[in-house]
Structure 1
Amino acid sequence: MAIAQPAPAPRSTSRWARWRRWLVPLFGATVLALLLSHAHKVDWRGAWEALQRYPLWLLAGVLAIATASHALYGCFDLVGRRFTQHRLPRLQAWSIGVTSYAFNLNLGSLVGGVGLRARLYAKAGLDQATISQVVALSLATNWLGYGLLAGGLFAAGAVALPAGAPIAPWALRALGVAMVLLVLGYVLACALARGRAWHVRGRAIHLPSVPLALVQLGLATLNWALMGAAMALLLGGDTPYATALAVLMAAAIVGVVMPIPAGLGVLEAVYLALLSGSVPHGRVMGAVLAYRALYYLLPLAGGLVLYAGLSRYAAAHPEAGAVEAVAQVPPVLGA
């Protein structure tokens, strides 16, 4: 089905593009200043001692949670497979999702989440329209779960803002309510669509069914919950699970605004700022460093192995490149 050409960008969009040139660097400088303001206060010796005090069983448990989280993220691409009805094997689609996630965390979303995933799917034989749908559904799944879980935590007041924070507690609660309402609005839109196309700025957007939308929410919410569980274990009993999860999700949105590969410095700055009053800096830094090693770096090694395996499989099965994707709907372009 042909897709109408998008209309010229409205003036409001171009105005936002001009503002964004200044706002993003300003926001990045603010976060960097926040990190530097805490860097000289960090007990680096305490951080190293905290790392050494972690028992092996705890590190193994956190690694198991991280592995489960990465495996669960690979199921996001199975949602795209179900929606587009393409014919790639489930294991291959899942492996592409897991590989792209590992690269996404360490090299940024444009390289891993979009670029690498598109390359692997193209080598597997999917057409560009189907690839766009799968990538869009995966991104939408991740952030829908984030909106539901983070919105609930913010609305419940699980994040204790430090003194002098640029946002008031009531504003954060209002933001949380708005996030939950947006997610519920997505599910409602899926219910109202019933196979129809929603036209946004000249593009046709087809939404999944309500059951598939609920699967999206369930997978992504569980994935974010696992990430929070890993950090809560590393922080120990001093930090409640809800607090550890809420701070992690606050750091995630800061990392999106500041597209630094692996969020270097962002995670540390946010955790130091939000937990400085309740957890010693050395313990916070030890937990963040351990989290980076177990959730970012070790899975990247597994992602490299999967990438090599997928590449060899594509080279050994050139007939797979002739697979015709059964794309019965136009590309999902909203996400």
Structure 2
Amino acid sequence: MATRLEAAEPRAGGVTAARRPAWGRWLGAFFAVAVLALLVWAARSVDWAQVMTALSQVPPATLLLAALLCVVSHLIYSTYDLVGKRWTGHALPVRRVMLITFISYAFNLNLGSLVGAFAIRLRLYAREGLRQPVPTQVLALSLSTNWLGYGVLAGGLFLGGWLEPPPQWPVSKAALQGLGGLMWLLAAGYLALCTWAPRREYLIRGHEIVLPSLRLAGLQLLVSAANWLTIGLIVHVLLREAVPYGHTLAVLLVAAVAGVVAHVPAGLGVLEAVFVALLGPSLGASTVLAALIAYRALYYLIPLVVAAGAYFVLEAKARR
């Protein structure tokens, strides 16, 4: 699903090479400084000594396997915007689309969706000459891709009873199973609309909602499910397979949505609290926290360093 916020005359792939005015270049410089400030803030908020201690507690072979899985996950996520490229037909090269998606995802993980999913992504697409509403359509399709796979996997795990909430939680197992059923209904409804909707475009509160074909919706589900399954496998490996993989994945999916609801950048503290509450009684809080710190270092921090370097390289090339 994607949205169109404004009409635009179609050109070759929605790409234009118009030169920006001087005020636009000044605004771009300000944006780059703001991004740098956010990176400094993120670096200062990390307890690097704790990160190094946690990493030293994990066997090197386990770290290497987890690191390789992190690369696989980031590569899978980088294909999300390729679905939007295929749907909109814009002319940006595949490698550039994947690079933009990777950069925005790394910023999103560490600094929140407003910075990563929206500001960085839309800015980089604008830098490449991609005109509105195409970048917004690609972004909306990418977001729906992420949550479509999430809903199908979480719905199945909740319905299957893979997660046993602690007694003090306000949500019972039966309520989780009901939530899982609702997730499956929503996912099925989306796929049904993509298949049998009488028209592709709907106007809701001034926004044009455009449905993809069933084939593209199936591709959305495939890549998103593959990514969430890989992320779950990363945490499972770092926990040294101490609990069944399905249980680890179910806890991760609960923690992911809890981090979104809490609106905390990178879900700091939320991810750890959910895992300690659900796995701490059986594994021990220290074991769980050590695995999660290693996970944050491998999946969040190292990709952020790479993405920040790539972002400023793209900014420098665009200014030249």
Shorter-chain TM-score range: 0.7 to 0.9
Q: 1:60 to 1:194 in 2, by over 3 A?
A: farther
Among residues 274, 282, 287, which one is paired with 1:283 in the alignment? 287
For 1:301 and 1:47, locate their aligned partners in 2 and report how far apart those are by CA, in whole Å. Answer: 15
Q: Percent identity?
A: 47
Map 1:182-331; keep pairs closer than 5 Å.
Answer: 182-193=186-197, 196-316=200-320
Displacement of 1:237: 2.7
Q: Which letter does structure 1 place at the counterpart of 2:105?
A: Y
Q: Report whether the alignment pairs 1:67 with 2:95.
A: no
Q: Which letter does structure 2 place at the counterpart of 1:265?
A: G
Displacement of 1:311: 2.3
Q: Report whether the alignment pairs 1:52 with 2:40.
A: no
CA-to-aligned-CA distance 1:187-222 (integer Å, 9 cap, x gap): 110012365312333433111110100000000000
For 1:155 and 1:121, locate their aligned partners in 2 and report how far apart those are by CA, in whole Å. Answer: 39
Number of residue equivalences? 275
Stretch moving more, 243-252 or 191-200: 191-200
For 1:192 and 1:305, locate their aligned partners in 2 and report how far apart those are by CA, in whole Å. Answer: 45
For 1:221 and 1:274, locate their aligned partners in 2 and report how far apart those are by CA, in whole Å. Answer: 23
Q: Which letter does structure 2 place at the counterpart of 1:72?
A: I
> Would the aligned equivalents of 1:50 and 1:283 in 2 still touch at CA under 8 Å?
no
Match of 1:136 in 2: 140
- The TM-score, its normalising length taken from structure 1, stands at 0.78
Paired residue secondary structure (2:208): strand
Moved over 4 A (4+): 1-4, 46-51
For 2:148 and 2:60, locate their aligned partners in 1 and report how far apart those are by CA, in whole Å. Answer: 35
Paired residue secondary structure (2:179): helix
Displacement of 1:307: 1.1
Q: Report whether the alignment pairs 1:100 with 2:104.
A: yes
Paired residue secondary structure (2:283): coil
For 1:203 and 1:53, locate their aligned partners in 2 and report how far apart those are by CA, in whole Å. Answer: 51
Q: Report whether the alignment pairs 1:86 with 2:87.
A: no
Paired residue secondary structure (2:163): coil
- The TM-score, its normalising length taken from structure 2, stands at 0.81
Paired residue secondary structure (1:205): strand
User: Which structure 1 residue ranges, 5 or more long, are not aligned?
Assistant: 5-45, 317-335
For 2:274 and 2:239, locate their aligned partners in 1 and report how far apart those are by CA, in whole Å. Answer: 14
Map 1:36-51; keep pairs closer than 5 Å.
Answer: 51=55
